[in-house]
Amino acid sequence: MAAMLTIKDLVVDFKTRAGNARVLNHVSLELMNGEILGIVGESGCGKSMTALSVMGLVPSPPGNVTGGSISLEGEELTTASGKRMREIRGGIISMIFQEPMTSLNPVFKVGDQIAECVLLHENVTKAQAWQRAVEMLTKVGIPEPEMRASSYPHELSGGMRQRVMIAMALSCHPRVLIADEPTTALDVTVQAQIFDLLKDLQKDTGTAIIMITHDMGAIAELADRVAVMYAGHIIESGPTNEILTNPQHPYTRGLIACVPHLEEDPSEIRPYLSEIKGVVPSLTDLGKGCAFADRCAYKTPVCEEEQPLIEAIAEGHSVACYNVKYVVAV
Amino acid sequence: MSEDALLEVRDLKVHFGGKKLFKKSMIVHAVDGVSFSVPKGKTLGIVGESGSGKTTTALAVLRLVPITAGDIRLDDLEISSLEKEDLRKSRRRFQMIFQDPYSSLDPRQRVGEIVREPLDLMDIGEESERDQMVRDLFVQVGLRPELTNLFPHQFSGGQRQRVGLARALSTKPDLIVCDEPVSALDVAVQAQILNLMRKLQEDLGLTYLFISHDLGVVQHLCDHVAVMYLGQIVEQADRISLFKNPQHPYTKALLSAVPKARARDGSEERIRLMGDPPSPINLPKGCRFAGRCPVALDKCHHEEPPLVDRGNGHLASCHLLD
C-alpha cells in the first residue's frame, strides 16, 4: 500500500517566556492509503499539534515548524504557499474537532456552513452546493436532512452536531480526514454511533483517517495502526492488536494498565489501579535523556544520557526504549 | 439495604419551570421519582447519558436545587426538610467534589485559604490550629504542605482535584458527592485520583455518591450502581450483579456501547441504540426508553413498567422481565 501522507523528522518549537518548548521532537509517521491511524497520548504530548502541523495551522507566533517535512503524495506541505494550503485544507485534508458546539458557527444554518465549504473548493452554483449539503447530511445519517439543513447548531444535539461536522469535513471528498478527539464530548451510546459512522464512511470512500484520542478503547475500536506519543516524541507504534496485546514501551504499558477497563465478569476483589508515578515533564526543561526516564521503573544510566531512537523490533512494530529486551523479560 | 443506610432518598422529584405568561407551561422533569440508599462506608454509582438527571439528583441530595417532592435522610438528619441556618450548619456533614478542577477553585484565592475557608465558616477547631489542620489535609491528599501559599493556576489538573478533595474533607463529612470527579483528567492522573479516593474511603470510612458516565470507572470504584434514564432509575443492583447480569435493555445497550481496549477478534456484536433520549419536557407515555428500545413490545408504549426486585435486590423496570 502506498503512503498517502508522510511526516518525517518533524520538529515544532514554541517560544514561551519560560524558554523554548519543543512540542514535536523528530516525529515521523506514515499514513497509508485508506487506513485508520490512531495517535494516542495524554494532554500536552503533541498529538493535536501533529494534526495542526499537517493542516498548516500551527499558531505562529509563538509556534514554528523548525525542521522536518510533511509530504502529501510527494507534495511538500511545510513550504507550501498560503494559497495552496487553503486549497488543501477542506479539499484534500479535512479535520473534525473535539467540541462540535464551538467549531460550528452559531449564527449560520448548518446547511449553509457545509455549502460554504463546497463553494470554496468546487466550481458549483449555490443551489448545487446546498444540494450537496443535504446529500452529505443524508449520508451521515441525519433524519429529515432537507429540514435539518435549515437548522442552526443550537437546535441540534451533541451527536447531531458532530455528524454535521463530519458531513462538512467529507463534503469535498477529502483524501485524508483528521479527527481530533471526535467523541470525547459525547455520551457512550452516541460515541458508538459516531464510530460506526466513521467506519462505514471510511469503507465507502476509502478516505485515510488520522484519529487522535486519549482513549485506548477508541483506538481498539477503530484504528488499524496506532502511534503512542509522549512529550513530543513518538515512543511506540505498530498494528493496533499488537500494541494492545504486546506493548513494549513502559509508558504504553502504564497507559493501558492504569485505565479501569469494563469487565463483563468483574471479580469481587478490586486491586488498586496501577499508577504511572509522577507527572508529565515540562516541555521547556526536558533533559537530554529519555523524556520518560524520571517516571520509568526500568530506568538505567544510559536513559539519562540520550533520548533513545525509535527502532523496529518486529514487522511494523517500533519502540523508542533502551530497555526493550529487559521489559520484555519481566 | 436500608437498615444501615447512611443516605436514604425516597421518591425524589425535581421539576424545573412552570407557568409562563402567554405561553404553555413547560415543566422539565429532571428527576422523576428516584429512590435509593447508600450504606455507610460504601459507594453508590449513578450512571446515565447526559440529561438523564444524574447530576440533578446529586445536587438535590446536597439541597443545591429546590426539591419538588421526596425525602432525603442522612443518618439521623432529615436533609429534605432543613431550612436556612440549620441547613447551612448541617452542610459540614455532606460535601461535594466537582468535575472541572479549573472552574471549581477560586483563581484569586491561595489554595491554603480555599481549604481553610470551610473550617472558618463552620467554626471547626481552634483558630490557631486551623493552619496546621490545612497542612494535615494537604498531606492526606498527597500534596506537599508547603504548597498552601500557591494559587490554583500553579497546579496541574490532578493536583487541583486533590485540593478539591482536601476542601471537601476539611469539615470531616460523612458523605461526599462526587460529580464526574475524574472525567476531566488524563488517564494516568485519573488512576492516581481514583486510588486516592479509595484509600481515603478505607481510612476515614467515607461514603461516596459517585456520578459518572464512565462505566469502567464506576465498575472499579462503586459497590452499588444505579442506571438512570430520563429522570428515573431503570436498574439498580450491586456491582457484580449489575455488570455480570444486566437486566434492562438500556443497561445492556450502555454496556455494549463502551469501547473495549482489547484486541479485536471480530466476534463482538454491538447493540446499536438509535437517536437521542427524548426531551424531559414532553415525556413519552409508557416506558420512557420504549422509543429507542430494540426489543420494545406494544405494551411498552402505553404502560409504564414499575421498578421491581428481580431477585437478590437487583431492581429493574422492564415489561420484558415480568
Cα-based torsion angle of the residue sequence B212, B216, B218, B223 in order, rounded to the nearest 10 degrees = 170
CB-CB under 8 Å, A42 with B186: yes
Chain B: closest CA distance from residue A165 (Å)? 17
Contacts of B190 in chain A (CB under 8 A): 258-259
- Percent residues over pLDDT 70 in chain B: 95
* Chain B closest-CA separation from residue A33 CA (Å): 21
Number of H helices, E strands in chain A: 11, 12
Residue at A79: amino acid letter? T
For the record, the C-alpha cell of A129 comes out as 452546493
Per-residue pLDDT reduced to its tens digit, A174-190: 999 999 988 887 788 88
C-alpha cell at A296: 520509568
Which stretches of chain A drop beneath a pLDDT of 50? 329-330
Question: Lowest mean pLDDT: which of B36-40, B149-153, B272-276?
Answer: B272-276
Quickly state the pLDDT bin for B1 (edges 50, 70, 90): very low
Q: Which residue among A159, A244, A272 sits closest to B262, beta carbon to beta carbon?
A: A244
DSSP character string of B21-82: TTEEEEEEEEEEEEEEEEETT-EEEEE--TTSSHHHHHHHHTT-S--SEEEEEETTEEGGG-
The phi, psi pair for B183, rounded to 5°, reads -75, -15
Name A178's bridge partners: A95, A210
Does residue B3 have a pLDDT over 60?
no
Give B211's contacts (C-beta < 8 A, 6+ positions apart): B45, B46, B54, B55, B57, B58, B177, B178, B179, B180
Cβ atoms within 10 A of the Cβ of A135, count?
A: 14
Please report which confidence band the pLDDT of residue B14 belongs to, taking 50, 70 and 90 as the band edges.
very high
CA distance to partner chain A, nearest, from residue B265 (Å): 9
pLDDT at A65 (0 to 100): 92
**DSSP state string for B166-206:** HHHHTT--SEEEEESTTTTS-HHHHHHHHHHHHHHHHHH--
CA A126 centroid distance within chain: 33
Given a cut of 70, whether residue B257 has pLDDT beyond it is yes
**Nearest by CB: A262 against B198, B260, B264:** B260
B-interface mutation test, from A142, A221, A273, A282, most B Cβ less than 10 A away = A273
Nearest CB to B263; choose among A193, A241, A255:
A241
Q: Taking CB atoms and an 8 Å cutoff, what residues of chain A touch B254? A: 188-189
Task: Considering only the C-alpha atoms of chain B, give the largest distance between any 2 of them, rounded to a whole number of Å.
Answer: 68
pLDDT digits (tens, 9 = 90+) for B45-75: 999 888 888 999 999 999 999 999 999 999 8
Q: What is the pLDDT of residue B111?
A: 93
Chain B residues whose C-beta is within 8 A of a chain A C-beta are 49-50, 156, 158, 186-192, 194-195, 198-199, 213, 215-217, 219-221, 239-240, 243-244, 253-264, 270, 272-276
Chain B contact for A107 (CB, 8 A cutoff): no
Q: Coil, strand, or helix at residue A241?
A: helix
Looking at the complex, report in whole angstroms how far the Cα of residue A269 sits from the nearest Cα belonging to chain B: 10
d(CA A211, CA A221) in angstroms, rounded, equals: 11
Question: Phi/psi of residue B311, each to 5°?
Answer: 115, 135
Which chain A positions have a beta carbon within 8 Å of B260's beta carbon? Answer: 217, 220-221, 261-262
Residue A97 φ/ψ, nearest 5 degrees: -110, 170
Task: Count the neighbouring beta carbons within 10 Å of the beta carbon of residue B220.
Answer: 24
The alpha carbon dihedral of A325, A326, A328, A329 has a sign of positive
Identify the three-state secondary structure at position A101: coil
- Checking ipTM against 0.90, whether it exceeds it is no
Cβ-based contacts of A274 with chain B (< 8 Å): 191
- List the one residue out of B254, B220, B217 whose CA is nearest residue B234: B254
How far are the Cα atoms of A193, B43, B62 from residue B162, in angstroms, in the given order?
A: 35, 19, 21
From the list B195, B213, B261, which residue is nearest A272 (CB)? B195
Provide the shortest C-alpha distance from residue A50 to chain B (in Å).
19
Percent of chain B clearing pLDDT 90 (strictly above): 54
From residue A183, alpha-carbon distances to A167, A213, A283, B140, B143 in Å are: 15, 9, 27, 35, 33
3 state SS of A208: strand
Q: What CA–CA distance (Å, rounded) separates B273 from B313? A: 27
**A residues 37..66 contacting B (CB < 8 A):** 42-43
Q: CB distance from A256 to chain B under 8 Å?
A: yes
Grid cell at residue A55: 493542516
* A317-319 and A311-314 strand pairing: antiparallel
Q: How large is the greatest C-alpha to C-alpha distance in chain A, in angstroms?
A: 67
Q: What is the pLDDT of residue A330?
A: 43
Q: Are B260 and A190 an interchain contact pair (Cβ–Cβ within 8 Å)? A: no
CA distance A180 to A203: 20
